[in-house]
């Protein structure tokens, strides 16, 4: 199973890097550039994943499996329903904090891992504080859930109410509504003259090779190598590839893709030897997994695979270069961004991958709630801190 986790992580890292695909970009790109190519690709990825997940979950339910949140010992669990979370105020607050943090940091949870593999010192710096913020987030969510306010919320698995085809239909309608909003916003930006070419930020080496003679287009040619290992994939291509990889993860492991639960384990593994106690019930399972060894933890191995996959992709493209020089004025934002992402993700019980993408794909209302909160948080950072750090431009593109 660990080899499958590593393999799937490598595939994810390579795909995310080749596409320049990211959840933070789905918010930032349309806000700054006025074009929603990445935002629309995220919807395509969700749709493709939902179609596959529905089939997997329906088949499991037909064979007697039950959702994870209602299972008792001995029950078969419907794959992916581990991401059907109880959504309360913590989901909203955590989503907003995470959204703000990923804009400050220049990437989400998976984006931070791929950027590390690409040699970005910024991501390595952010990662430290992401880890440090995760354990407090775990404790805060456990504590909040045991208050009277924490018990106010809902846990809805759409197939329980509408069946699998009904759940898919409702989810597709939700995606279509978002797609309509994106088109409407793009139209507004075009009218304002602030709509940028969707491929206008592609660097020359990422573009398809066109000035090659016919004699130089054989299988073992530069053009073939460039297309296989260098040329940037479109967002839509990346969306479909990532959907297939995440479906493979579900089929192979019985669980949907997640990133940040492994960050909490890494944080505990680092801090526990320093004398910090994790005796709270919030850390019982985490400490058990840490004591078994992080190299036996599937999530940790998959995250390592993502870093390695992006590294290999950059090496094959001849693009890898350590970029350790950081703008000193940006450092406070990177610190805060990492802490906000770490705390926010664990306070919300997941990040862009687990709490949003995987939860929405498994027909959990919590995923939609987290998505709205995350987008709101991202927009707050983009609006309030415009021009105050290098990653947030002062003006929108024209």
Rg (CA), the chain: 21
Give the HSE-up count for residue 27: Cα atoms under 13 Å, Cβ half-sphere: 28
pLDDT of residue 228: 86
Look at phi and psi of residue 365 and say left if phi exceeds 0, alpha if psi is from -120 to 50, else beta.
alpha
Q: What average pLDDT does the segment 43-47 reach?
A: 98
Confidence of residue 204 (pLDDT cuts 50, 70, 90): confident
Confidence of residue 308 (pLDDT cuts 50, 70, 90): very high
Domains in the chain: boundaries:
1-70+77-385
Confidence of residue 388 (pLDDT cuts 50, 70, 90): very high
Confidence of residue 115 (pLDDT cuts 50, 70, 90): very high
pLDDT of residue 216: 56
Q: What residues contact residue 119 under an 8 Å CB cut-off, 6+ apart?
A: 311, 314, 320, 321, 322, 323
Which candidate, 87, 126, 94, places its Cα nearest to that of 345?
94
Which candidate, 69, 112, 146, places its Cα nearest to that of 262?
112
Q: What average pLDDT does the segment 193-205 reach?
A: 88
Is the model's pLDDT at 9 over the cut of 70?
Answer: yes
To 10 degrees, the CA torsion angle through 386, 390, 396, 398? 160
Secondary structure of residue 202 in the 3-state scheme: coil
Is the model's pLDDT at 62 over the cut of 60?
Answer: yes
Q: Judge residue 184's burial from the number of C-beta atoms within 10 Å of its C-beta, 0-12 exposed, 13-18 middle, 19 or more buried.
A: exposed
Q: How far is CA 40 from CA 22, 27, 364, in A?
A: 12, 11, 21
Q: To which H or E segment does residue 250 belong? A: helix 235-253
pLDDT of residue 292: 95
pLDDT cut 70: percent of the chain above it: 97
Q: pLDDT (tens digit, 9 = 90+) per residue, 221-268?
A: 778 888 888 999 999 999 999 999 999 999 999 999 999 999 999 999
pLDDT of residue 212: 59
Rounded to 5°, angle at Cα 389 from 333 and 354 = 50
Is the model's pLDDT at 215 over the cut of 60?
Answer: no
The tokens for 68 are: 């994870």
Q: pLDDT (tens digit, 9 = 90+) per residue, 309-359?
A: 999 999 999 889 899 989 999 999 999 999 999 999 999 999 999 999 999
Q: What is the mean pLDDT of the chain?
A: 94
Q: What average pLDDT does the segment 364-371 reach?
A: 98
Q: Say how far apart CA 25 and CA 248 lie, in whole Å.
A: 24
pLDDT of residue 203: 83
Model pTM score: 0.94
């Amino acid at each position: 199973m660990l080899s499958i986790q590593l393999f799937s992580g490598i595939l994810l890292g390579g795909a995310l890097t080749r596409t320049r695909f990211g959840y933070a970009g789905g918010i930032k790109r349309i806000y700054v550039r006025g074009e929603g190519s990445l935002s629309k690709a995220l919807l395509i990825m969700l749709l493709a994943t939902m179609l596959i997940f529905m089939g997997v979950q329906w088949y499991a339910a037909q064979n007697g499996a039950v959702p994870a949140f209602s299972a008792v010992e001995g029950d078969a669990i419907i794959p992916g329903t581990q991401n059907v979370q109880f959504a309360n105020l913590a989901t909203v607050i955590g989503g907003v904090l995470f959204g703000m943090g990923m804009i400050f940091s220049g990437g989400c949870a998976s984006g931070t891992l791929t950027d590390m593999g690409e040699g970005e010192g910024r991501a390595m710096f952010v990662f430290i504080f992401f880890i440090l913020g995760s354990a407090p987030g775990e404790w805060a969510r456990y504590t909040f859930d045991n208050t009277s306010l924490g018990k106010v919320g809902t846990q809805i698995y759409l197939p329980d109410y509408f069946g699998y085809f009904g759940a898919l239909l409702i989810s597709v309608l939700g995606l279509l509504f978002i797609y309509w909003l994106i088109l409407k916003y793009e139209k507004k930006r075009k009218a304002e003259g602030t709509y940028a070419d969707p491929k206008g930020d592609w660097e020359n080496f990422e573009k398809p090779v066109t000035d090659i003679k016919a004699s130089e287009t054989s299988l073992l040619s530069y053009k073939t190598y460039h297309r296989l290992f260098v040329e940037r994939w479109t967002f839509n291509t990346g969306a479909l590839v990532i959907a297939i990889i995440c479906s493979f993860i579900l089929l192979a492991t019985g669980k949907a893709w997640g990133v940040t639960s492994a960050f909490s384990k890494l944080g505990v593994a680092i801090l526990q030897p320093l004398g910090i106690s994790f005796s709270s019930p919030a850390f019982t399972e985490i400490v058990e997994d840490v004591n078994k060894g992080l190299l036996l933890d599937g999530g940790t191995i998959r995250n390592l695979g993502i870093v390695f996959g992006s590294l290999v992709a950059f090496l094959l493209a001849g693009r890898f270069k350590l970029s350790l020089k950081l703008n000193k004025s940006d450092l406070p934002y990177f610190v805060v961004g990492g802490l906000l992402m770490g705390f926010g993700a664990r306070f919300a019980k997941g990040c862009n991958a687990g709490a949003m993408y995987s939860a929405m794909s498994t027909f959990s209302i919590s995923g939609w709630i987290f998505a709205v909160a995350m987008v709101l948080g991202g927009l707050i950072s983009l609006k309030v801190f415009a021009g105050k750090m290098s990653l947030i431009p002062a003006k929108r593109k024209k």
